Chain A
Amino acid sequence: MGKALKPGVTIKGTKDGLLFFLDDSRPFSAVLNELKYKLEHHSASQIWDGPEMKVKIKLGQRRITKPEEIAVRELFSIRKNLIIHEFESDGMPYLADFEPGIQMLTGTVRSGQVLTHTGDLLFLGDVNPGGTIQCTGSIYVLGALRGLAHAGSKGDETAIIAASVLRPTQLRIADVICRPPDQWDESEVGMRFACLADNQIIVEKMHHLSRIRPDKEWKENSKKL
């Protein structure tokens, strides 16, 4: 079989579920169109309406972005029994803009020093007045944040800034800048976080975070074995 004839989407059944091989040699949009066609018109086959099945998407040498992943997931949403279990690229993380989770750093960011980081950062130490901590993701400081913190520096408006002692000279999330009140309320002790709400930075107690980020909320598993 010649290369040109190789289908963009190959489906294989295994005992664990279905494997979708998306050809990495042709444009992703072409592959998506073919996937769409197959999902919508493969009525001859029983598998689209059968029992629930796990789906694994193999991307070969290709890596995709988050919007591309969402596009694939949307195509699959028309087939309720097909549940995307995972994406996989050969020997590498499948997301092109992959950020390896949360990273931890320690030390002190002193006056005049700038700590820049890609992704989320857990910083164990103090950020002193005049010091800057800048992340494309969220910033979590186990220590005193007395300097400037800029979360979501590439425009991520969902980023938050949390600190054991939140006493910054200035906070920035995405493009929004705010300055804390000149006098800190002495009752405001304990861990706090700042996030964006209606294009304004608000500071809340830590336990309010689950209200703002319900998707991240931890819940006790009700199903007991």
Chain B
Amino acid sequence: MGESIVITSGKGGVGKSTTSANLGTALALTGKKVCMIDTDIGLRNLDVLMGLENRIIYDIVDVVEKNCSIDQALVKDKRCDGLYLLPAAQTKDKTALTSNHLRWLVGELKEEFDYILIDCPAGIEMGFKNAVAGADQAIVVTTPEHAAIRDADRVIGLLEKEKVAPPKLIVNRFRKQLVREGGMMDVDEVVSVLAVDLLGVVPDDERVIRAGNQGEPVVFDNDSLAGKAYRNIARRIQGEMVPLLAFKEEKSVVYKMKKWLGFA
């Protein structure tokens, strides 16, 4: 029996789909069977990030309308063996699904997979409620910005009313340099406001965008700090104790020079 985890944020554009794609891949890389469900009907993009857009034949709405079986709709990842995607429908809207559909679907998938990651649409309306309905656990993604934190706080409040375990937090697009300069909230501050357990911190990394555009999650990039952060989060999801990454600041050339000469 697998675990279902909804990945949500309230605010759009903080990196829900990117997180879903990377965590799904990272979990699959550790040998687990993982299914990602895109519930953002009408605005699907998890398939784009995974580079699987051209392999979609059936989608989630076809499954719940019984136009096809679940297995027929699942798209197998091109790199990982145990990784599947259940894509959203692009031609329908959010009303095509109900909470009961998701509950049934996740229940079926749990039989076969170790982890089911549900990529939630932005907002707190029906799409959100549907996505949360099938979940056992929840991950809230936020960036260290006041607007995103406000929405994350609202979502945490709504999740507490649902039958999910207390949500865990991922702070995305963290920039140490900016925090040092006082232009961004520190992780401690974010965690103290939201008062939930921290699952991980993902640094801001342009390679995430580059990888996403190539349809290849950044976790495959061994040099990327963000990729490492996602791999660590995947290990934490499986119950391992992994310390948080220490983010080094980009040192200037002058500083490196001084250091080399023994001045600093």
On A, residues with C-beta under 8 Å from B are: 108, 110-113, 125-126, 128-131, 144, 146
Contacts and interface: CB of A to CB of B under 8 A. Distances in A.
Contacts of B157: 110-113
B150 interface: yes
A146 B150 CA distance: 11
Interface of B: 146, 149-151, 153-154, 156-158, 160, 192-195
A12 B150 CA distance: 64
B154 A146 contact: no
A58 to B, nearest CB: 48
B146 A110 contact: no
A129 B154 CA distance: 10
A131 B157 CA distance: 10
Contacts, number: 34
A133 to B, nearest CB: 14
Tell me if A's interface is mostly helix, strand, loop or mixed: loop
Nearest to A143: B195
Contacts of B192: 144
8 contacts: A110-B153, A110-B160, A111-B150, A111-B151, A111-B153, A112-B157, A131-B153, A144-B193
Contacts of A130: 150, 153-154
Contacts of A129: 146, 149-150, 153, 193
A111 B154 contact: yes
B52 to A, nearest CB: 35
Nearest to B160: A110
Nearest to B152: A111
Contact of B154 (A112, A125, A126, A144): A112
A82 B150 CA distance: 59
A111 B156 CA distance: 9
Contacts of A131: 153
Contact of B193 (A112, A113, A146): A146
Contacts of A110: 153-154, 156-157, 160
B146 to A, nearest CB: 7
